[in-house]
Every structure is written in C-alpha cells, then in structure tokens.
C-alpha cells in the first residue's frame, strides 16, 4: 500500500453525457466537482441522440397519456409511481434546459411569421406527438449546451482521457467505518497511471453497454464500465436481459450501424421487403409505429423468412425537400453511402441500442451503497420496464440528475477523514496482451450477437454463458498479473456485463418485452418480476491495492 496522493473533491462524477453533466451543474453550487470522462468530453451516447426528448408540452397531450404509453411499451414491468413522477417532472426540467441555451426546433409558422411553438416529433409507441428535438441532432445540441455551461463554471474540472477502473468503498479497504463509497481509482491514459479520486459523493453516469454486441448504434465508449464497477462493489443490478435493439440502422459495411431515427417512421416512412411488400401490419395494428421490440422482431422475422440481409425504409413519397430539411444529418449521411432517401428506399437492419436494466436505484438515484449514486442509462429506476419507450431516456437522465443533486445538497455528506491507499500498478507488461485483448473483444461481441440477440433460446444462452466464464477467467489473469491498459480494463467490464445479461436472461423463464425466447414464448403466469443480481460479500472482489 502506498501513501495518500489522492485528488479530493466534494463531488466525483463519472461520465460526461447528459446525466453526468446535468448533475455536475446542479451540484456545483454546493462544492467542487471533478468530471471524469474516458475520451474527449463530448464523446457519449448522448452526443449521438437523434429523435429527441419525450415530454408533455402540448394541449393535445397529457401526463396520463405519456404514462399509459410508457407502461404499455414496458410490458407490465415499469413501476407506475416512477413513470408518473418522471413524466410530471419533465416540463420543468425541459424549461431549465432551454434556459441553459438548448435550441429545440420550432414549428414553421403558418403565415410566414417567426416560429414560436416547439416542433413535436412522433416515434413508435407514442400516441401523441411529444418528442422535442433539434432537427435530427438533438444529442449533439444537448452536449453543446451542457458543456458550454460546465466549461465556464469555476467549481467544475473536467478530466478527459481518464477511465474509471473501480469504485473505492470502505469495506473493500477493510475499514471499520460503515460501508460507503468514497471515490474511484481512475486510469489516466496519457500519464499511463492509475490515480486515486476521493469524494464523499460519487455519481455513476457512465451510460450503457451497446459495445457488448457486434452490431450497435452506440459509440465506442459504451462498454458497460459503470455496471461492472457497481456490481463488483456489491450494488444490485437488475433486468440486464432487456437489451433494446433499434429496428433501423443503415445497412452498409462502412456505416458502423448508423442510426436512422425512429422519427423518420414517425413522419410516415414505411418498412418493406426487397420484393416491395409492406410487412409491418402483419405483425401489429400500429404498423411502423408499434413499440421497438415488436418492430425489431418483425424485421428479424422478415429477414429470416426471405433470407435477405436487410429490409428497406421508404420515405420517398414525401414532398420535395422534406427529408433534407427535417433530417439533414441522416439525409447527408445516407447520401455519403450512396443512398438518396428522398428518392429511394434505404437498406436497414436492427442493432443493439439501449440497456433498459442497470444498477438498481431509488427515485433519487441512490444505489445500495451509501455515497454512490447512479443516473442515466447505467441505472435501473423502474421507468423502462421490459422495453423503453422511445425518447424516454434523455428525459429520465434530466429528471433523475436533478433529484440526485437535490438529495445530496440537502444532506451534505461528511468529508472522507482518512487516507486511501494507492492502486498497485505492478511493473510487468505482457507482449501477449494485445492479440488476446483484441481476440477476446471480437469473440464476446460476436457470441452475444449470435447467441443472445433478438430471439433467444435456453441452449444458446447456456452456450454463451459457459464461453463467457472461460473468457472472464482468462481476462482476469491478465488483469491481476500485468500492468493494465485501457483496452484490457474495458474488455474486463465488457465480459462481466455480457455475463450479467446472459445470467438475467437465463433466469427469465418467459418472453416479455425485449426478452424473447423460443423455449418460453409466453408471459409467465406468475406475473411481472425484476431479475436482480448481486455479487454478495462472498464474491465481490478485493481492490488492487
């Protein structure tokens, strides 16, 4: 154990997406804040969000309708009180975001005057137009707005290229103090060393785990680090089997599963087979605007039935200029790959998109571990149930970040009164590592895609589970015996999170929402229950100190 050379702050925020930045801004009035982020500050799922934020702002809409749509999409597993609270807090949080400088798209004024009303988009599962957006780059605009506010704040420091490795809890340090989280070990990629960050409050805002799958809409940061850290520290995680596959990503070898927003279907685009048959009404009376789990399964079934590599999304019937004006980013990106969506149907396939489960939290973002909060895609609040309603995640992050901030500001946490041992880096590197790391990354992502995808079976899940346990053992050997690298740390998290997804999926003996298994094709007669996993005292790992 080394001496204490830790960085000390009042609030430690892991992640710089909508959840982390909103929380940081909300608590900065109460003390110093460190934002730790593993790449450049804007790189996050938030930055790529297209469709927008679902929120009741129109006279034709109501909280009851938003509640009903969310519950329906969630297939019996949402917590109604949680949904109601988030939906009702939405308008206030949206006004604050606008106050911070967020520019949502406005409706074209009918008689040529200036546009004043917000333009509301529509997406699958929504019975009303209620999605606020900035054309089709809503997330980029949110990141820009929040980062501008953070960068000017005297109490906030951002640490880029810093990757959080493990949470530090008093019990793992062997302290007699009651269990609490007091910070995190963080790998500084440029300095190539693990540093100690200490704070009485740690906010986990590390986002989701799309990179567990071979094909995903998520950027490279989405490796499930926060779930893995929280699980290793002994917090409960839940409902990891509910991985949402977005139905429509551009099918092109170099497009990296570029998302074609559901808002495109909201504006009337239709799905058809190569032979030109519109197939969605065969699967659901809501057609293209059925909830995502239904549309993704319908596309999967259509591709399997016809042996085609993709299906097609057709918006070519809209008036001239519509696609380019309403979806400029999607339009330009499709053109770059040789598809003019204003003229022709574009090829699309589903890809992993969103993690509905996560670290279990209260309605204020508190986890099982005092001092540790979780907000955003990393968390499981009960809002999404078995299938998230489109555009509800940005809303959830805004609402929960504020509630968590209120909670910690009202109950000022005690400073951490003791020294914290330094991370044990070790001196030895291994030449073997690079190939093992890249091989295992590929293997995990492919096996999850092949065995734990849109349609599952018990046999495939068992196969995936046993392979993952071998991989976890091999990766652990590298972790404990050699100097760590960013790729190795992410791989270790990816393997654990993949295994948690499979474990949850094996526990669920029914098909519900996003979890569809051939062996149990119906809902369980015993009703909707969460699948909860905990790495108890027996298995939670020691720290590398």
Active site residues: 292
Give the separation between CA 496 and CA 468, rounded to whole angstroms. 8
Judged by beta carbon distances under 5 to 8 A according to partner kind, the member of ligand SIN, ligand FAD, none in contact with residue 6 is none
Pairing status of strand 193-198 against strand 7-8: parallel
Give the max Cα distance, the chain: 72
The count of residues in the chain is 545
Give the separation between CA 164 and CA 36, rounded to whole angstroms. 7
- Give the DSSP letter string of 512-538: BTTB-BTTS-S--TT-----EE---TT
The piece of 26-34, 93-101, 373-381, 425-433 that touches ligand FAD (CB under 6 A) is 373-381
Residues touching ligand FAD, count (CB under 6 A): 42
Enter the DSSP assignment of 74.
T
Q: Does 327 bind ligand FAD (CB under 6 A)?
A: no
Nearer to ligand SIN, 209 or 535 (CB): 209
Give the separation between CA 527 and CA 386, rounded to whole angstroms. 13
Q: Does 206 bind ligand SIN (CB under 6 A)?
A: no
Nearer to ligand SIN, 162 or 246 (CB): 246
Of 65, 61, 19, the C-alpha closest to 44 is 19
Unique residue bearing structure tokens 């690079």: 434
Pairing status of strand 33-36 against strand 156-159: parallel
Give the separation between CA 480 and CA 425, rounded to whole angstroms. 10
- Contact map string, positions 315 to 354, toward ligand SIN, x by CB under 6 A: ---------------------------------------x
- Contact map string, positions 85 to 124, toward ligand FAD, x by CB under 6 A: ----------------------------------------
The piece of 43-51, 68-76, 291-299, 446-454 that touches ligand FAD (CB under 6 A) is 43-51
- The token pair that represents 12 in the structure block: 């430690």
- Contact map string, positions 375 to 394, toward ligand FAD, x by CB under 6 A: -xxx------------xxxx
Phi, psi of 161 (to 5 degrees): 55, 30
The helix or strand, by DSSP H or E, that contains position 237, with its residue range, turns out to be strand 237-238
Nearer to ligand FAD, 354 or 373 (CB): 354
- The token pair that represents 531 in the structure block: 């699948």
Are 42 and 147 spatial neighbours (Cβ–Cβ below 8 Å)?
yes
Q: How far is the CB of 260 from ligand SIN (least distance, A)?
A: 8
- Contact map string, positions 244 to 283, toward ligand FAD, x by CB under 6 A: ---------------x------------------------
The piece of 56-64, 338-346, 357-365, 389-397 that touches ligand SIN (CB under 6 A) is 389-397
Positive or negative: CA dihedral 222, 225, 228, 233: negative
Nearer to ligand FAD, 158 or 461 (CB): 158
Q: How far is the CB of 53 from ligand FAD (least distance, A)?
A: 6
Phi, psi of 444 (to 5 degrees): -60, -45
Q: Does 48 bind ligand FAD (CB under 6 A)?
A: yes
Q: Does 166 bind ligand SIN (CB under 6 A)?
A: no
Residues 6+ apart with CB under 8 A from 85: 363, 399
Are 454 and 297 spatial neighbours (Cβ–Cβ below 8 Å)?
yes
Of residues 238 through 267, those in contact with ligand SIN by CB under 6 A are 261-263
- The token pair that represents 439 in the structure block: 């091989």
Give the separation between CA 257 and CA 55, rounded to whole angstroms. 27
Judged by beta carbon distances under 5 to 8 A according to partner kind, the member of ligand FAD, ligand SIN, none in contact with residue 448 is none
Q: Does 47 bind ligand SIN (CB under 6 A)?
A: no
Judged by beta carbon distances under 5 to 8 A according to partner kind, the member of ligand FAD, ligand SIN, none in contact with residue 221 is ligand FAD
Q: Does 290 bind ligand SIN (CB under 6 A)?
A: no
Q: Does 405 bind ligand FAD (CB under 6 A)?
A: no
Nearer to ligand SIN, 355 or 517 (CB): 355
- The token pair that represents 269 in the structure block: 């685009």
Phi, psi of 248 (to 5 degrees): -125, 105
Exposed/middle/buried for residue 252 (C-beta within 10 Å: 0-12, 13-18, 19+) = buried
Q: Considering only residues 6, 9, 26, 51, which one is a binding residue for ligand FAD as defined by CB under 6 A? A: 51
Q: How far is the CB of 355 from ligand SIN (least distance, A)?
A: 12
Of 393, 389, 494, the C-alpha closest to 46 is 393
Judged by beta carbon distances under 5 to 8 A according to partner kind, the member of ligand SIN, ligand FAD, none in contact with residue 15 is ligand FAD
Q: Does 386 bind ligand SIN (CB under 6 A)?
A: no
Judged by beta carbon distances under 5 to 8 A according to partner kind, the member of ligand SIN, ligand FAD, none in contact with residue 89 is none
Q: How far is the CB of 371 from ligand FAD (least distance, A)?
A: 18
Q: How many CA atoms lie within 13 Å of 149's alpha carbon, on the beta-carbon side?
A: 24
Q: Does 390 bind ligand SIN (CB under 6 A)?
A: yes
Q: Does 50 bind ligand SIN (CB under 6 A)?
A: yes
Q: In Å, what is the CA distance from 274 to each residue of 261, 316, 531?
A: 21, 15, 39
Q: Cα 37 from chain centroid?
A: 15
Q: Considering only residues 391, 493, 511, 531, which one is a binding residue for ligand SIN as defined by CB under 6 A? A: 391
Residues engaged in binding ligand FAD (CB under 6 A): 14-20, 36-39, 43-46, 48-53, 138-139, 163-164, 205-207, 217-218, 221, 225, 259, 354, 376-378, 391-394, 397
Q: Which residues contact ligand SIN by CB under 6 A? A: 50-51, 261-263, 354, 390-391, 393
């Amino acid at each position: 154990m080394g001496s204490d050379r830790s960085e000390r702050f009042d609030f430690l925020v892991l992640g710089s997406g909508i959840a982390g930045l909103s929380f940081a801004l909300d608590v900065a009035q109460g003390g110093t804040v460190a934002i730790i982020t593993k790449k450049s500050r804007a790189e996050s799922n938030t930055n790529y969000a297209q469709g927008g934020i679902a929120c009741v702002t129109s006279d034709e809409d109501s909280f009851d309708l938003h509640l009903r749509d969310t519950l329906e999409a969630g297939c019996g597993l949402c917590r109604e009180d949680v949904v109601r609270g988030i939906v009702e807090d939405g308008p206030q949080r949206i006004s604050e975001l606008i106050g911070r400088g967020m520019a949502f798209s406005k409706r074209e004024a009918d008689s040529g005057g200036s546009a004043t009303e917000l333009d509301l988009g529509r997406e699958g599962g929504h019975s009303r137009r209620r999605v606020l957006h900035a054309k089709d780059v809503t997330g980029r605009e949110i990141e820009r707005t929040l980062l501008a506010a953070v960068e000017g704040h005297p109490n906030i420091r951002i640490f880029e290229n810093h990757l959080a490795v493990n949470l530090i809890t008093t019990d793992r340090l062997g302290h007699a103090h009651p269990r609490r989280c007091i910070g995190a070990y963080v790998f500084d990629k440029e300095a190539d060393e693990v540093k100690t960050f200490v704070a009485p409050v740690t906010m986990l805002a590390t986002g989701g785990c799309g990179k567990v799958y071979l094909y995903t809409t998520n950027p490279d940061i989405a490796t499930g680090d926060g779930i893995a850290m929280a699980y290793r520290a002994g917090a409960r995680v839940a409902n990891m089997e509910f991985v949402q596959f977005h139905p429509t990503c551009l099918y092109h070898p170099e497009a990296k599963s570029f998302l074609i927003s559901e808002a495109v279907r909201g504006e009337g685009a239709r799905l058809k087979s190569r032979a030109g048959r519109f197939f969605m009404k065969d699967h659901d009376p809501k057609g293209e605007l059925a909830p995502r789990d239904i549309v993704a399964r319908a596309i999967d079934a259509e591709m399997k039935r016809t042996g085609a590599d993709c299906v097609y999304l057709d918006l070519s019937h809209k008036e001239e200029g519509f696609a380019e004006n309403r979806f400029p980013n999607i339009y330009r990106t499709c053109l770059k790959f040789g598809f003019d969506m204003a003229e022709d149907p574009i090829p699309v396939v589903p890809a992993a998109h969103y993690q509905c489960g996560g670290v279990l939290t209260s309605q204020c973002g508190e986890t099982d571990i005092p001092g540790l909060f979780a907000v955003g895609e990393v968390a499981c609040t009960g809002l999404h149930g078995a299938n998230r309603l489109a555009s509800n995640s940005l809303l959830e992050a805004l609402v929960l970040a504020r509630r968590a901030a209120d909670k910690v500001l009202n109950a000022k946490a005690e400073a951490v009164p003791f020294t914290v041992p330094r991370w044990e880096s070790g001196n030895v590197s291994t030449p073997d590592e690079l190939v093992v790391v890249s091989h295992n990354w590929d293997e995990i992502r492919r096996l999850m895609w092949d065995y734990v995808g849109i349609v599952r079976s018990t046999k495939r899940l068992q196969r995936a589970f046993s392979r993952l346990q071998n991989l976890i053992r091999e990766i652990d050997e590298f972790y404990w015996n050699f100097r760590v690298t960013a790729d190795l740390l992410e791989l270790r998290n990816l393997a654990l999170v993949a295994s948690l997804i499979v474990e949850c999926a094996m526990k669920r003996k029914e098909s519900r929402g996003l979890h569809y298994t051939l062996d149990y094709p119906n809902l369980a007669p015993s009703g909707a229950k969460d699948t909860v996993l905990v790495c108890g005292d027996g298995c939670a790992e020691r720290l590398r100190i």
